[in-house]
Amino acid sequence: MARETWGTRIGFILAAVGSAIGLGNIWRFPFQVSQEGGAAFMVMYLAFIILIGFPAMLAEFVVGRKTELNTVGAIRDFAGGYWQYLGGLFVFIGFVILSYYSVIGGWVLRYILGSVTGGYAATESAAAYFGMVATGTDTLIAHAVFMLLVIGIVALGIQQGIELGVKVMVPAILAIFGILAVYAFTLPGAGEAYAYYLSPDIGYIMQNWQSLVPAAAGQGFFTLSLGMGVMITYASYLGDDKNLGIDGISIVVLNTSVSILTGLVVFPILFSAGVDPATSGPGAIFVSIAEAVLDLPFGRVVGLLFFLTVAIAALSSAISLIEVVVSYAIDEFGMDRVKATVIAGVAIFILGVPVTMNTVFINLYDILAAQILLVLGGVLLMVLVSWLHAGEAIEELEQGIGDLGSIGSLWIWMVRVPVILVLLVSLYLGVTGYID
């Protein structure tokens, strides 16, 4: 049977955008911003997205499109020998990230329910409601429901499942968040929130760069779904003559817009309700949004729309995480797609079970997978592409664009030095930071 491909180029771009926009933008981003100095973090993050994230994304694209294989096969084909274990690392990271990502996805489903039934208004406090949602049997059930949605979409295939899904989901995310941003603009705290969020303090950046750099780089990689083979896998379903540069720019611009939009929605809501945005921990966005919307006009509708968008965004990322595993099983073992998806889904569900019992596992899984392995995987892949196979990489990028001349070398040198340097520094600061 012929290997699957995207039906349209837009389908590929939307799938990649859907992968990028997710809990990273909505659950992780606002609290990175508030913990790392508001607008100062924004400046660093935007710089990294453009200077580090975009070149790294192109590197993943060329490996995927050139080989038209899953991440293990792709790296083996591209580089040979032991490098295929890097692909194995990517598959492993996909397992780990999706296992806790899905538990949080389950929380979001419960908050949708809570908005409909008024559940989080009925408990004594927003924090108490989160306590109920975070762990226990119902959490396990919600995790199972979220994984079933993921399995259902991916089992239908690239065109009938993922592509069709993202064509509905990505426009829905943009539309609902656009409406919410307009609503947030009308709130009394909007002006104060915009000032906090959008006017950077350069002095702060100079003094705090040691914590800003790894936070912004980690967030940049996580949000663009880099460092674990998603973009290799998605690009492997492309035909030949696509302009990867334009595709990459579209994905980066759309994902960044949603991150900025998230801030324009979240901060006015929090400031208007007098909720401190700097509360930390995995429950922060849930507790503070639930608390805030209760005091605001049309609160429950706003809560419902907000959590609905988060659920859609999480789902469109989750399908990309499992697709890394599924495409590996299909290409390497000749497994049937439905069977591969069910087996991978059940295994990921089981790995997520501890997370449904105690939220410390979220931190554990997140630090291991998202902050250490993702960056490690990223560094190794960037070395492979830019130092060991630069010629092939540039040649592949030029397919569908034409002769790039010095832009090709500029790209390779961006990856060779600044990208790798920032990732190494972040890895060092990240690992040493968690050891103390």
Among 6, 12, 17, 25, binds ligand PHE (CB under 6 A): 25
Helix axes 71-79, 299-333, angle to 10 degrees: 50
30 binds Na ion (CB under 5 A): no
- Span interacting with ligand PHE, options 122-130, 196-204, 315-323, 379-387, rule CB under 6 A: 315-323
Helix axes 84-117, 137-155, angle to 10 degrees: 120
Among 11, 24, 30, 87, binds Na ion (CB under 5 A): 24
Among 102, 115, 225, 316, binds ligand PHE (CB under 6 A): 225
166 binds ligand PHE (CB under 6 A): no
Among 13, 14, 16, 20, binds ligand PHE (CB under 6 A): 20
Helix/strand/coil (H/E/C) assignment for every residue in the chain: CCCCCCCCHHHHHHHHHHHHCCHHHHHHHHHHHHHCCCHHHHHHHHHHHHHHHHHHHHHHHHHHHHHCCCHHHHHHHHHCHHHHHHHHHHHHHHHHHHHHHHHHHHHHHHHHHHHHHCHHHHCCCHHHHHHHHHCCHHHHHHHHHHHHHHHHHHHCCHHHHHHHHHHHHHHHHHHHHHHHHHHHHCCCCHHHHHHHHHCCCHHHHHHHHHHHHHHHHHHHHHHCCCCCCHHHHHHCCCCCCCCHHHHHHHHHHHHHHHHHHHHHHHHHHHHHHCCCCCCCCCCHHHHHHHHHHHCCCCHHHHHHHHHHHHHHHHHHHHHHHHHHHHHHHHHHHCCCHHHHHHHHHHHHHHHHHHHHHCCHHHHHHHHHHHHHHHHHHHHHHHHHHHHHCHHHHHHHHHCCCCCCCHHHHHHHHHHHHHHHHHHHHHHHHHHHHHHC
Decide if 25 contacts 258 (C-beta within 8 A): yes
Task: Return the number of the residue (75 or 412) whose C-beta is nearest ligand PHE.
Answer: 75
Among 14, 15, 17, 23, binds ligand PHE (CB under 6 A): 23
228 binds, among Na ion, ligand PHE, none (CB under 5 to 8 A by kind): ligand PHE
CB of 224 to Na ion, least distance (A): 7
Instruction: Identify which of 230, 226, 248 has the alpha carbon closest to the alpha carbon of residue 318.
Output: 230
282 binds ligand PHE (CB under 6 A): no
- Considering only residues 49 through 78, tell me which ones interact with ligand PHE, judged by CB under 6 A: none
230 binds, among Na ion, ligand PHE, none (CB under 5 to 8 A by kind): ligand PHE
Task: Return the number of the residue (228 or 296) whose C-beta is nearest ligand PHE.
Answer: 228
340 binds ligand PHE (CB under 6 A): no
Instruction: Identify which of 128, 111, 73 has the alpha carbon closest to the alpha carbon of residue 324.
Output: 73
> Residues 4-23 vs Na ion: string with x where CB under 5 A?
----------------xxx-
Decide if 320 contacts 22 (C-beta within 8 A): no
Separation between Cα atoms, residue 21 and residue 127, nearest integer Å: 26
- Span interacting with ligand PHE, options 182-190, 219-227, 281-289, 348-356, rule CB under 6 A: 219-227
Among 320, 356, 371, 386, binds ligand PHE (CB under 6 A): 320
CB of 275 to ligand PHE, least distance (A): 23
> Residues 206-245 vs Na ion: string with x where CB under 5 A?
-----------------x----------------------
Decide if 242 contacts 400 (C-beta within 8 A): yes
Among 25, 71, 356, 386, binds Na ion (CB under 5 A): 25
- Span interacting with ligand PHE, options 17-25, 57-65, 75-83, 127-135, rule CB under 6 A: 17-25
Task: Return the number of the residue (97 or 269) whose C-beta is nearest ligand PHE.
Answer: 97
19 binds, among ligand PHE, Na ion, none (CB under 5 to 8 A by kind): ligand PHE
- Considering only residues 80 through 139, tell me which ones interact with ligand PHE, judged by CB under 6 A: 97
CB of 213 to ligand PHE, least distance (A): 19
CB of 167 to ligand PHE, least distance (A): 19
222 binds ligand PHE (CB under 6 A): yes
Among 32, 34, 223, 262, binds ligand PHE (CB under 6 A): 223
Task: Return the number of the residue (24 or 94) whose C-beta is nearest Na ion.
Answer: 24
Question: Which position's Cβ is nearest ligand PHE?
Answer: 24
Separation between Cα atoms, residue 269 and residue 276, nearest integer Å: 11
Catalog residues that contact ligand PHE under the rule CB under 6 A.
Answer: 19-20, 22-25, 97, 222-223, 225, 228, 230, 317, 320-321
Residues that bind Na ion (CB under 5 A): 20-22, 24-25, 223
